[in-house]
Structure 1
Amino acid sequence: MGDSAVRFAVGVVVTRADIPVLCARLADLLRGRAGELVEFDVSGIHEPDVVVVEAVARLRLTARRHGRRLVVVGAGPDLLLLFALLGLTDLVTPDAAVPSPISAGQRDAADGVKPTTTDLRPSDTRHSDTGIDRTRPPYDPPTPK
């Protein structure tokens, strides 16, 4: 990224309690500095989770409040996939190879798992092509009026 970018990094683990502290640190870092871009370095995070994504979203808001744009740099494949699953690929640098989310069926096929076509509903709840609801057993007499 450019020389005028502000670089901001986090450690290995980010917890929910860390998020307000990170936002305050970023706000302090941005006050009185020129530039329009904040590079958020997440290369230290090896086991990303939704808390990391929440931190990125909140830091992005903090950067916007200071007239800056935040991009994520150094994201590993797991974090990139998490961003893709949550529709946040615009947060990562354009040169990052963001994997496309795959469906469970595609993942199973890649793992060698054969799909099953068994109908797991009980037989008395299946509906026939005639539109008759067979949720009650046929021997159940109608209730008197």
Structure 2
Amino acid sequence: MDTSQPLVVTLPAAPTREEVARLCAGLAAAPPGDVRCELDPRAGGLVAVDALARLALAGRRAGHRLTFHGAGPDLAALLRLTGLDEVL
């Protein structure tokens, strides 16, 4: 596995619990390193906030350095409102 490039995961606009669980399991199985999480710009609402929080927790537990990219203005505002804006 090439560890010189970050692992890229993609979070869909309306992730299901199964999709989030699959992404978290993938993070847990990957060797520690940089992870770039691409967000669908249409992602929003508490479902997306929950998914981001779960991904961030799973990634940190596995020793990854996560960065999140592509959040739309609605999701960014909701993350600020909930106090979770530091995950982006």
Give the shorter-chain TM-score range: 0.7 to 0.9
Larger relative contact order (Cα-Cα within 8 Å, sequence gap ≥ 6):
2
Structure 2 gaps of 5+ residues are none
* 1:5 to 2:1 alignment: no
Q: Offset of 1:49 from its aligned partner?
A: 1.1
Distance 1:8 1:21 in 2: 11
Q: Does the 8 Å CA contact 2:41/2:70 hold for their aligned counterparts?
A: no
State the percentage of identical aligned residues. Answer: 36
The size of the alignment, in residue pairs, is: 85
What is the rounded CA distance, in whole Å, between the counterparts of 2:64 and 2:43 in structure 1? 27
Q: Over the residues paired in the alignment, what is the CA RMSD in angstroms?
A: 1.9
Q: Distance in 2 between matches of 1:27 and 1:47?
A: 23
**Aligned-partner residue type, residue 36 of structure 2:** E
**Runs of 5+ consecutive residues of structure 1 not aligned to the other structure:** 93-145
Residue 8 of structure 1: how far off its partner (Å): 1.0
| Greater strand proportion | 2
Largest Rg, 1 or 2: 1
CA 1:17–1:6 in 2, change beyond 3 Å: closer, same or farther?
closer
Normalised by the length of structure 2, the TM-score is: 0.79
| Residue 53 of structure 2: aligned partner | 57
TM-score (norm 1): 0.51
Mapped contact 1:6–1:38 kept (Cα < 8 A): yes
